[in-house]
A and B are shown apart, each in its own frame.
Chain A
Amino acid sequence: MPPIEPAKGKLTGSLDDLTLDEAEFVQELLARGRDVAVIPIGPSRTPDFRVDGIATELKMLAGVVNQTPDGLSSALSSRIMDARSQADTVIVDARKQPGMTQAIAQRGVGRAVGADNRTGKRLYDVTVLAPDGVVSFRRREHGRDHS
């Protein structure tokens, strides 16, 4: 087992209420120098996150049974659409999803962004981590810029 890199980013809050996958992902963000705040919001709900000060919805995708390209891209688009009600910045970690590829992730992001474009344009920034690469979308007409 490789040694755990010391955290470079700043963690605010506790990892205790996170799932193992979520906690690992937060540790990875910290190791990459991102500041992460974990904000507990209630006993039965997943905590909110702020990454570098930006409200961010973190989602994991790992247990999709239908591993056809249609099934995986559909599951991803659903996950993104679900996330947009929580935050306009969404990160989906799909690296542990069997069958997922960057190309399929691109399809899933396209399906979600297309639906979002027709239903309110609430998504601003979407990032999907696939086993073989990263797919991202950033809206350029949102009227604000996080950077």
Chain B
Amino acid sequence: MAVIIPEEAELRSRILAHLASRPGNPYVGAVWSGYLAGLLEWGVIDGNVHSRLSDLLPMAGESETLDVMLGPDYVDAHPELRTGARPEQRRPVRIVPTSA
């Protein structure tokens, strides 16, 4: 099976377009958070790419994404993780409507 490594720019474009097409829908950010976690764990993207792309996402599904990465038992034992990233760490996302 051929594995195609996605370009960071492609992923960035898809994330921003999805966020723009579903403004205010928290599931968009949560789904992409899980998607990026999978790409990172399986070595498709590296940690720095994951970091930059994660910064595009609104705060949604943080705890569940941590469950995927660290396991629910570890997250339950470290409740401080559930507070997620500090808000000031996130860059503002400018939502640009996409044309049909």
Contacts and interface: CB of A to CB of B under 8 A. Distances in A.
Nearest to B62: A118
B85 to A, nearest CB: 6
Interface in B54-100: 54, 62, 65-66, 69-71, 74, 78, 81, 83-86, 89
B85 A119 contact: yes
Interface size class of A (residues with CB under 8 A): 20 to 34
A139 interface: yes
A140 interface: yes
Interface string B26-57: 00000001001100111100111011101000
B85 A118 contact: yes
Main secondary structure of the interface of B (DSSP, over half): helix
Nearest to A126: B47
Interface in A65-101: 73-74, 77-78, 81
A105 to B, nearest CB: 11
A121 B50 CA distance: 11
B12 to A, nearest CB: 15
Contact of A117 (B43, B51, B71, B86): B51
Contact of B40 (A81, A113, A119): A113
A25 interface: no
Nearest to B65: A118
Contacts, number: 78
Nearest to B80: A119
B51 A141 contact: yes
Contacts of B74: 74, 77-78, 81
B54 A117 contact: yes
B85 A114 contact: no
Nearest to B78: A81
A137 B47 contact: yes
A83 to B, nearest CB: 13
A121 B89 contact: yes
A111 B69 contact: yes
A141 B70 contact: no
13 contacts: A106-B43, A107-B41, A110-B40, A110-B47, A111-B40, A114-B37, A114-B50, A117-B51, A117-B54, A119-B62, A120-B85, A137-B46, A139-B51
